[in-house]
Structure 1
Amino acid sequence: MRTHVRFDNDVTFELTERAATAFAGYSTPRGWSFRATFGALVDGSLSRDATPHDISPGLVGGVGVSRQWMLGDGRWFITGSAGLSVAAASTHLAGAANDPRFVAGDIRAGAIAGRTLAKIWNPYVLARGFGGPVWWTVDDMATTGTDTRHFQLGAGLSVAMSFGLTLTADVSALGEQAASLGASWRL
């Protein structure tokens, strides 16, 4: 994930994060899904000019809900989603011993729309809006910030196998930039 965060001291940093997560969820026959996510913030940085602050490994967690609607002949679909998440880690300048805390909260709403092809291929377009605070100590000053762009636009593909496995690839190229790969197994 890559975005820009403007802090209350009018300083903007480029934020990059790489995370690995797992989730457990429950889906209802009426199209509702509920899930909890937990994982690790593996790597990242906050950069301004030539001054990168490395993000150490940390924690990521969240909860979400979504609802899917099938349209027309049952091959078109729209899914709406909402979620809350938080990431926490420490940061440091290269070679420095300081350990300021970095915490980012997020509330997100989105929609995907697509069509099922050959019963297993599900290409889609996506739009998401979000916001939330980022708390960080930089230059010995506690600051609060938020993203400079509060949206994502992109596309993805999910492939549903007959034995319950679904593979997903998702790319957001406009706004907050992100890419994700996923696999889920329906029990």
Structure 2
Amino acid sequence: MFTGIVQATCEVVAIHKKDGLNTLEVAFKPDLHEGLAIGASVANNGVCLTVTQVVDDRVFFDVVEETLRLTNLAGLSVGQHVNIERSLTFGSEIGGHILSGHIHTKAKVSHISHTAQHYDLTLSVEPKWMNYILYKGFVGVNGCSLTVGEVTDCSFMLHLIPETLKLTNLGQCQVGDEFNIEIDSQTQAIVDTVERVLAKRFNGLS
């Protein structure tokens, strides 16, 4: 489990491509590397990956074909930075909201508004996911726990503060880039339950 509070951005120093999977080699900073063991779970751009090897400051992750298909990890290139968060430990402060590291969909950056006063992103997603992305609700974007701004039928806005831009890779995006999206599980459960109840009632009256 994760909190959506990105701890650092780390450089992808190599991508080892094999049949059915890619192995990411990521350079970890010393404070993130301490105590990290093989088998640990680490979020890379919000995707929960298992540590398969640790060599000095290099950490290796296998990314299987299905994960490559569903996330933006397939589009990574050497030299890019990924948002990193190590898994939640008992007694840790939860500053964001609980994330599983299981990505639901991808969103495309459709507009960037960057001025001296603000940095706003508009992300477009398939309309079906907007049932769970609500104004002032929470959403995981590349592993970052963020509050949703204005919404439409197929898009939502993010208002990013300087601290978020400093600690994550969201500020390096361009129009057309894709972000990994994890919707809030509680919101999904409530929306789906209400829809089922209303559907049963409607069917019972028809």
Q: TM-score range by the shorter chain?
A: under 0.3
TM-score, normalising length: structure 2 = 0.25
TM-score, normalising length: structure 1 = 0.26
Higher helix residue share: 2
Q: Which has the higher contact order (CA 8 A, sep 6+)?
A: 2
Higher strand residue share: 1
